[in-house]
Chain A
Amino acid sequence: EAGVAQSPRYKIIEKRQSVAFWCNPISGHATLYWYQQILGQGPKLLIQFQNNGVVDDSQLPKDRFSAERLKGVDSTLKIQPAKLEDSAVYLCASSSLSYEQYFGPGTRLTVT
C-alpha cells in the first residue's frame, strides 16, 4: 500500500513570495490533515478535511494560508505572502475512521 505522498520535499523562497504544497493521501483515507512543525516543537494542526469538507481550520492563519481538497482526494496548501516565521516543515497526514494518522515525508520550507 502506497503511503502519503508530498511534494516538493524542499522549498526556499523569499519573504512576501507565494508557495504551494501538494499532498496525495493513502488510498481510501477520507480524512486529511495539514500540520506545521517548527524545529523542536510538536506538529500543529492547520486544517482537517473529511472528504472534501473542512472539519477544523481554527489554527489556520486565514489571512495568508489557504487549503483545498478537490474531489476528496489530493490537497494543496498555499501560503501567500510568506513570512520569515513560516519557515517550518509542513506535514500532510491521512487517516481512516480510526483517526490513526499516517504522515507523509513533509516539505521543508525556508523563507529568507
Chain B
Amino acid sequence: QKEVEQNSGPLSVPEGAIASLNCTYSDRVSQSFFWYRQYSGKSPELIMSIYSNGDKEDGRFTAQLNKASQYVSLLIRDSQPSDSATYLCAVNIGSFGSGTKLNVKP
C-alpha cells in the first residue's frame, strides 16, 4: 500500500467550475499536510499547508483535512485555464503522492 494515494486523472473541469482533488494517506499519526502545484516541465510549487482537522481557505483554494478518515482534499473555486497542472499531495516531510493532473477547459 502506497503511503499517499491520489487519482492520477486527468480531471477535466470547465472554466469557472469547482475542481475537487482528493488524497488519502496510510500513516494514522501524520501531522502535516501540503498541496503543491507542478506545471509541466517545472518544479513543484507550494500552494497550501494544513495541520488541523477542518477547512483552510486561501483565495480560491480551500484545503480540507479529516484525520479520522485519513483524507485530505483541495478545492479550487472559479477554476481558470492557468490552473491546469499536476497537483501533488504531500504528507509529513517527504511523502508525496503521484499527483492528479487537472485540465481546465476554456
Measured CB to CB, the residues of A under 8 A from B are 33, 35, 40-45, 48, 56, 89, 91, 98-106
Contacts and interface: CB of A to CB of B under 8 A. Distances in A.
A99 B98 contact: no
**Residue among A35, A45, A101 with the highest chain B CB neighbour number at 10 A:** A101
A36 B106 CA distance: 34
B94 interface: yes
Contact of A43 (B49, B88, B92): B88
Contact of A33 (B88, B94, B98): B94
Range of interface residues on B (Cβ < 8 Å): 10 to 19
Interface in B49-106: 49, 88, 90, 92-99
A41 B98 contact: yes
Given A48-B94, A103-B45, 16 more contacts: A33-B93, A40-B98, A41-B98, A42-B96, A42-B98, A42-B99, A43-B88, A43-B96, A44-B96, A45-B95, A91-B44, A99-B32, A99-B92, A100-B34, A103-B43, A105-B42
A42 B94 CA distance: 10
A40 B45 CA distance: 17
Contacts of A48: 93-94
Nearest to B94: A45
Contacts of B46: 100-102
B34 A104 contact: no
Contacts of A35: 94
A35 B95 CA distance: 11
Contact of B49 (A41, A89, A98): A98
A91 B44 CA distance: 9
A90 B45 CA distance: 15
Contacts of B44: 43, 91, 101, 103
Contact of B88 (A40, A42, A102): A42
A104 B44 CA distance: 9
A90 to B, nearest CB: 11
Interface in B1-54: 4, 32, 34, 42-46, 49
